[in-house]
Structure 1
Amino acid sequence: MSHDVVNRDLVQAGAQRIDSVERNMPALRRVRERFAVERPLEELRIAVCMPVTAETANALRTLHAGGAELALASSNPLLTQEDTAAALVEEYGVAMNAWAGPDAMSYEHNLTTVLDSDPHLLLDDGCDLVNIVHLERPELLDTIVGGCEQTTAGVTRLRGMCTEGILKLPMVAVSESYTKQMMDNRFGTGQSTVDGIMRATGSMLAGCVVVVAGFGMCGRGLAERFRGMGTRVVVTEVDPARALDAVLQGYTVLPMAEAAAIGDVFVTVTGNRDVIRAEHIARMKNGAVLANSGHFDVEIHSGVLADLSVEVNFGVCPQTDEYVLDNGRRVFLLSEGYLVNLGAGEGNPPEVMDMSLSVKALTVEWLAQHHADMSPCVLDVPATIDAEAARLELATLDVGIDHLTPDQKEYLHPGTASRFPSFH
């Protein structure tokens, strides 16, 4: 089994961390118990690009219990729990190439190495594996039958490939499932991003002006959490419907050029590039804090930030770099512009990841069973999987719900005579 981890002596600490987190992931545990009995992934080889955390380790345990052979590379250069990585190698037989803080060349090497496993399925995070397969390893397309994409940024890439006619695989947009967006993006990213910013800066947020760039599910969750911390939240958007949504929820909506002059903290969650640019940085207050919770490090133009600076002081606080501009103002960039909730924080809580990783595990099972009927395109998570993951989560919370009666099912079914009852 191939592996490249920093310290295999950390196995015990990693196993303890994984087991501790697993206690807060009961829905995924139920999926794993069924997989261990039914073995729906027997002899499937899966190449995985994911953050190496205790939460994702439990997802890999679930796939392993289902019979899959796994090869893993980290999707985030700043976040690999090295004790978790060691435990995955020694305790769960995962072919692992991941460590904290690889340079760009090592990061690319790790991704390429997991593809040497000749996988049948790809579990991607940002479309990195899919890009490498299509551009550098097209021979693998004879073996790979499909995959899942976990991020909005990755799905955007995939849809572009599909539009251009170059996508050769069926890929499921796990990031767009309702339960994943609700739990992971809205509640998880909202909480963990605030946590990461507070850890990195040590500052009080109450009374600050926080600018949230993007009002999708992540932006909505961020705005809700920040408002709960006593901040004044300003939203920037390019989508008029989302901007209207933010206004109707009571937020101030401004163009970034105007928000730049009044913000104390800026957080980007758009999935696009160059959201904060030179003209915005030029208007910012002394001491402005810049953070990103979009997948890639392109939302804040850090190269421009460096060009505008006369001095850069790296690591003035953990995960915090200080840029001194030519007029003496200081701007602070968190986690080098990468995901601040992962770089400076602990990522989403296990209770949140329980839901989204259950959806992913169930989707992998569905792909394994039905890939022969799929054509190369971007697919939605089946509604039945969303419903099953939600049912599992409700069961762990001991929450009961109503069920449709036969008459109600008939009423809702299109085309039945009873759909529109007579009142005469």
Structure 2
Amino acid sequence: MDSALTAAGERRIGWAARAMPVLTAIGERFAAEAPLEGLRIAACLHVTAETAVLMGALRAGGAEIALAASNPLSTQDDVAEALGVYGVRVHALAGVDRQTYYRHIHQALDIVPDLVLDDGCDLVNILHTERTELLEGVSGGCEETTTGIIRLRQMAAEQALRFPVVAVNDTRTKRMFDNRYGTGQSTMDGIMRATNTLLAGKVVVVAGFGFCGRGVAERARGLGARVVVTEIDPVKALDASLQGYEVQPMGRAATIGDVFVTVTGNRDVIRGEHLAVMKDGAILANAGHFDVEIDVRALEELAHAVHPGVRPNTDEYVLADGRRLLLLAEGRLVNLAAAEGHPAAVMDMSFSAQALAVAWLARERARLEPGVYDVPGEVDVEVARLKLAAAGIEVDSLSSDQESYLHSWRLGS
């Protein structure tokens, strides 16, 4: 054990906890109530300081935890070391290859879990394909990402999902705070750290106008960029247009963009035909969960030379005519690989919903059928209420007459 690394991790976790009062309060409540006593949890999450605060709350509730990384480039080794001291079995190391990444997930599953926490559905996928002997003992799970929910809903539609999973990603607080504000700020942070580029005056192409895409577009525009949105959903495309963004197909946007950010949850959003027409110096960044949104293989085939590490987390691909395309973070999550992910204040909301959803699952799992479940409305409201209280913000409440009016169909004008 590296004592210096452990100490550094403890300092990082302590700093994050300062900005996470809601999750800290939930941890204190869990310590008193022990809602997870005797339960084993396998988790596949980004191994960061904010995740460590969540692990602390779940441990306080009585859970035994094994944690693997959901992205090898986001792991903070000092945090992983410190978590081991706190009694969490951590199987993660920054920068490991794909084979080791999956081996770590298998090691986390060796705890023989009662509940699972996932970020992208890789752990749940392995449970259903390679570790099926463990499925009988798993009574529920939580999923944190849009990408993971897409995969889980498809599993449920095909009747392949064997246990209930709570879609933590789909809460109002998560979409508003985490997806929009967290992804927006941290993506810009990652791009600027990796490239030190001036975004003012640049054409930033945002692929996808869901909650994450909206956040990225807003922050890019706030930094002075001209923002172009690409979409496949007519309603989202219309929304983007009415908010003042240019909307174009990627084939056209590829010729004018200076910075490209993919935020769709789908694969091959930027393909070879797009890469072939991009400007010299175009920057390629992905803020979707998996490294499939930018076709890196097509980029490698187009390149006549590759200069890895021209800056930290920046690889330069030189095309036949001398144009240079800059790929950030190997096409993985730029906000976590090139920066530190969402600010702790953002993750306070997301992980508080996660913690309360885990406690709800522990209580209700016996009556739930396999499928994807929304987070109970009262959990979402409780998280928002606690966050407002921590910030010293007061809101109005309904009078008895207002309550009666809202629950009656007889009263009109």
Give TM class, smaller chain: over 0.9
Per-residue CA deviation, residues 319-339 of structure 1 (Å, 9 max, x unaligned), is 000000111110000000000
How many equivalent residue pairs?
413
The one-letter amino acid of 2:143's match is: E
Question: Counterpart amino acid of 1:412?
Answer: L
- Is it true that 1:344 corresponds to 2:338 in the alignment? yes
Secondary structure at 2:240 match in 1: helix
Determine whether 1:70 maps to 2:65: yes
What RMSD over aligned residues (CA atoms) do the two structures have, in Å? 1.0
Is residue 22 of structure 2 the alignment partner of residue 27 of structure 1? Answer: yes
Corresponding residue number in structure 1 for 2:165: 171
For residues 197-218 of structure 1, give each alpha carbon's deviation from its aligned partner in whole angstroms, at most 9, with x where no partner exists: 0000011110000000000000
* Cα distance in 2 between the residues matched to 1:130 and 1:53: 21
One-letter code aligned to 2:121: C
Q: Deviations over 1:113-171 (max 9, x none)?
A: 11010100010011011111111111211110010011111111111111111111111
| 1:328 lines up with 2:303 in the alignment | no
Distance 2:102 2:77 in 1: 18
What residue number does 2:96 align with?
102
Equivalent pair of 1:410/1:419 in contact (CA under 8 Å): no
Question: Structure 1 97/7 Cα, relative in aligned 2: closer, same or farther at 3 Å?
Answer: farther
**SS of corresponding position for 1:291:** strand
Counterparts of 1:197 and 1:9, CA distance in 2? 30
User: What CA deviation, in whole Å up to 9, does each residue of 1:72-100 have, x standing for no partner?
Assistant: 0011111111111111001x100111110
**Equivalent in the alignment of 1:199:** 193
- Match of 2:170, as an amino acid? E
- Is 240-249 or 138-147 further displaced after alignment? 138-147
Unaligned runs of 5+ in 2: none
Query: Identity over the aligned pairs, expressed in percent?
Result: 60
State whether structure 2 residue 131 is matched by structure 1 residue 141. Answer: no
Residue 236 of structure 1 aligns with an amino acid whose one-letter code is T
- Give the drift of 1:422: 4.9
| Whole-angstrom distance in 2 between the partners of 1:15 and 1:22 | 10
CA apart distance, 1:249: 0.2
- Per the TM alignment, residue 12 of structure 1 is displaced from its structure 2 partner at its CA by 1.1
Q: TM-score, normalised by structure 1?
A: 0.96
> Is 1:37 the equivalent of 2:37?
no
2:261 corresponds, among 267, 289, 299, to: 267
Q: State the shift of 1:8 in Å.
A: 5.7
Alignment of 1:214-363 (within 5 A): 214-363=208-357
The Cα shift of 1:7 comes to 4.4
Question: What one-letter code is carried by the residue in structure 2 that aligns with 1:421?
Answer: L
Corresponding position of 1:419: 409
Distance in structure 1 (CA, Å) of the matches to 2:390 and 2:103: 40
State the match for 2:120 in structure 1. Answer: 126
Is residue 2:5 matched to residue 1:10? yes
TM-score, length of structure 2 as denominator length: 0.99
Match of 1:3 in 2: none
Moved more, 102-111 or 294-303: 102-111
Which runs of no fewer than 5 residues in structure 1 stay unpaired?
A: 1-5
Tell me, in whole angstroms, the C-alpha distance in 2 between the residues paired with 1:165 and 1:244: 34
Residue among 380, 390, 396 paired with 2:384: 390
